Structure 1
């Protein structure tokens, strides 16, 4: 063991049990003559296993145990014989016992004198408070960045130069790995995962600057999703310009607080809201909403989308998953089967959840599109996709932009009316608890639309036949069923009910609601009611009677 170790113990430094030092591989030997305890001259071997530090010394090159702050490069431990080493060890053990440290520490030193130890590759040692220990792997760059402190510990010369090695933060699909109490952007401390989609993840976090809870949308570290998030940030900034402090909240859209890039993930910070409407429906066994709540939802959604359209924005992805409740609180209400109120011996009536508040916010502007800019071929989630998108004609929208000045419309290019169609599908889902069009095939989807809304107008079907001839037969009639249609698909289309069967006009509020939905669910976008016009519909001036 190094002679410097024993010089520490000889001067009475307290000894504490530590991890044993690895012996260095460079050991030098020399012979000297020395008088033993009986006065006889003997040949002894001097072992020096602590060579002077090199010019690139790191933490192991230090002045010993606070014995001074001289030059690290010029320090040379004294050369001592085996007899001197043994005497120093004996004195160290005696001093340890006197100080109440017990004999266990001394036995550790005595045992370590004869034990051979091999140094591990790339491992070094340093002196901290007078004892040897392994140098921790701090990811320290090369070069001298350490200096001795007054108490003998080793401290960095420039702490800002020390970089901690970062662990991988992504999974194989580019999603950010969310862990509790992770600090994002040195400000937001993660609490829990709120949801995950193709775009990335949303987490609840605490803003340590203001001690408030926020939602952080963490985009996947994949170029196409990063590009889409930049579009969303642009849209959210446009919305924020109209209400910078989110005081009015009249537009019912999510409010942007901040955005930044964190470890190759674009992060969007917004206000923290409740669960999405779809999750509430699912947890409520897909029980329909009360008609009073549907009227409130409809007014807020039309208000929100009308504001987007006034900013020349098409949302393109309206669905219950993108509508968040501001508050999740609910009360339980019994659902007594008709004609069986309180019958003795019958099972307890089923209960449903009823929201305390119907206030909502519209979210997810990742696919929102400015009307004058490029339109993707396919937009919207399948169940809420307008017919003009299914029968899209690849670029006719460019002509429409110029022809709008002449109040003319041709072709089937999608624009603002596709949002109105999606809203019609959503309102029916609120009324029944189930998606209106449950399909994953284009032709089947069009066949279901005809079952719900009636036959396509001739002008619309002829335009569709020019763009998608595979969906039509002679005379621009929908080619349903096709030879490839399955038995189950035919059965599903046959079971699809018309709007009049789904929403039965039993009273005034239902008649107005049915009329509004019919105007939203029209094949030809040129004749579909706009969201601004829908807000003036008599449905919103009619009081909903008690359930």
Structure 2
């Protein structure tokens, strides 16, 4: 699958004009900077599904097992910090509630006694593999703060970090629900075209800012894109014949930089949560910043559909789903793969008579058939998706180019909202 002529023509005409501060990273004076060049190479924790779990951690990372001693059953240590509401960390951050938890640990809402501000504190599990990821995330967030001192780009702000006993704690601005949580709470009613446009424009600006500064996020998904506010209104959706929630404010922030990777750093073989994983990653062809572009293409179509485009839990099946939606994988890419068992006679080695193939045919259709209407804005969105979900990395659109796509024409002249 390649880009159409329209996509190529506007790319040639428009060149993105950077409005960011980029260049060499500065150091903050108020806190020591973690030198990411000295961190271990194995800082990435790879999540095999859209749900967060510990399935990919080694037994050593999972801590002590459940044991029987003298007939008394002892609980295993899951690595999370024991805390209670009202506990004060660092004589400063009073825990008010638990906001969520995942493979990394837990996030709690705290009040900062120094200024009365409500903040989110990410309390990382004490196991060393998680600590390495946390140290890497702190280093990345320090650099983002330095490069975007005016808070112009939609990346979460780190306010502080400290170590409490064996746990690294990262203090960040308090945000609202993730876009996935919002869809889930809204019975997976899709976002409107206008909502997708505003949310996507902010994400593209934020991640393009990262890319210009030689950083790849590597784990972009609806769970890692949070609304700034939890406020919402209720409206009636005629198309769905039901009431649903509408965000009062469409401002978002990109979060979770634990597996973010600089261009000069070691690139792990496996990155991204499965449903948003680019084909070059699955085929072990090597990857660069464009894997973020593929992930965001999957995110945008999920916003449009209200469901995941590639709901697979198997690499070969995942590639077969891609072919049903996007057409055959180019033979030259299959020829280069190190995963030779995926290929037979220069084609994807897939048994079409299998029951799994029946499911794929039922749930995966050519991309353009997902269009609900023939409106101009939907044509523009799907043209953009075609440019993003391009197998060949050399032909895949960049986010700087994507910001000049006609889909964003109405937003490009608007100034981004100023944030405090």
Counterpart of 1:258 in 2: which secondary structure?
strand
2:189 equivalent to 1:287: yes
**Residue in 1 that maps onto 2:323:** 450
> Structure 1 runs of 4+ off > 2 angstroms?
335-338
What pairs up with 1:284-363 in 2 under 5 angstroms? 284-337=186-239, 349-363=241-255
The Cα shift of 1:491 comes to 1.9
Query: Which has the larger Rg?
Result: 1
**Alignment check: 8 A CA contact 1:288 1:433 kept:** yes
1:473 & 1:191 partners in 2: Cα distance?
A: 57
- 1:179 Cα deviation after fit: 1.1
Output one character per residue of 1:322-356: Cα deviation in whole Å (capped at 9) or x when no partner.
01101121111112358xxxxxxxxxx41111111
| Residue of structure 1 equivalent to 2:168 | 266
Structure 2 residue 344 is the aligned partner of structure 1 residue 473: yes
CA contact (8 A) 1:171 1:177 kept: no
Supply the distance in 2 between the matched residues of 1:183 and 1:357 (Cα, whole angstroms): 32
Which residue does the alignment assign to 1:202?
Answer: 107
Q: Return the offset for 1:387.
A: 0.3
After TM superposition, list the pairs within 5 Å mapping 1:57-206 onto structure 2: 172-206=77-111
The root-mean-square deviation of aligned C-alpha atoms, in Å, is 1.6
Equivalent in the alignment of 1:421: 294
The residue correspondences of 1:368-517 to structure 2 (distance < 5 A) are 368-392=260-284, 412-464=285-337, 467-474=338-345, 476-481=346-351, 487=355, 489-495=356-362, 496-504=364-372, 506-517=374-385
Q: 1:171 to 1:220 in 2, by over 3 A?
A: farther
Equivalence for 1:534: 402
Q: Which residue of 2 aligns with 1:234?
A: 139
Question: Per-residue displacement from partner, 1:187-215 (whole Å, max 9, x unpaired)?
Answer: 10000000101111100001011111000
CA distance in 2, matches of 1:430, 1:188: 35
1:181/1:522 CA distance change after superposition, 3 Å:
same
- Return 5+ residue gaps in structure 1 as ranges: 1-169, 339-348, 393-411
**Distance of 2:232 and 2:86 partners within structure 1:** 30
Q: Deviations over 1:276-298 (max 9, x none)?
A: 11010000000000110000011
Task: State the secondary structure of the residue aligned to 1:435.
Answer: coil
The structure with higher relative contact order (CA 8 Å, sep 6+) is 2
Number of residue pairs matched?
336
Deviation at 1:360, TM superposition (A): 0.1
- Classify the secondary structure of the residue corresponding to 1:194: strand
Unaligned runs of 5+ in 2: 1-74, 412-420
Contact 2:269–2:286 under 8 Å retained in 1: no
Deviation digits for residues 123-149 of structure 1, max 9, x if unmatched?
A: xxxxxxxxxxxxxxxxxxxxxxxxxxx
CA displacement at 1:462 relative to structure 2? 1.4
Counterparts of 2:371 and 2:236, CA distance in 1: 23
The whole-number CA distance in structure 1 between the counterparts of 2:343 and 2:191 is: 38
Deviation for aligned residue 1:426:
0.2
Return the alpha-carbon distance in structure 2 between the equivalents of residues 249 and 536 of structure 1: 22
Query: CA–CA distance in 1 between the matches of 2:239 and 2:80?
Result: 47
Q: Deviations over 1:391-432 (max 9, x none)?
A: 11xxxxxxxxxxxxxxxxxxx210100000000000000001
* Inter-partner Cα distance in structure 2 for 1:304 and 1:189: 31
Shift of 1:492: 1.8
Cα deviations by residue, 1:228-275 (Å, 9 ceiling, x for unpaired): 11100010000010234xxx3321000011111111100000111111
After superposition, the Cα gap between the structure-2 partners of 1:243 and 1:417, relative to the gap in structure 1 and judged at 3 Å, is closer
Residues 184, 262 of structure 1: 8 Å contact kept: yes
State the TM-score, normalizing by the size of structure 1: 0.60
Residue 542 of structure 1, CA deviation:
4.9
Output the CA distance in 2 between the equivalents of 1:426 and 1:305: 13
Q: What is the deviation of 1:486?
A: 5.2
| Alpha-carbon separation, structure 2, partners of 1:486 and 1:206 | 55
1:200–1:218 contact (8 Å) kept in structure 2: yes
Indicate conservation of the 8 Å contact 1:315/1:367, yes or no. Answer: yes
Aligned equivalent of 1:250, options 124, 134, 152: 152
Is the 8 Å Cα contact of residues 378 and 389 (structure 1) preserved in structure 2? Answer: yes
| 8 Å contact from structure 1 (residues 505, 514) kept in 2 | no
8 Å contact kept, 1:387–1:523: yes
- Give the SS at the match of 1:282: helix
Give the secondary-structure state (helix, strand or coil) at the position aligned to 2:381.
Answer: helix
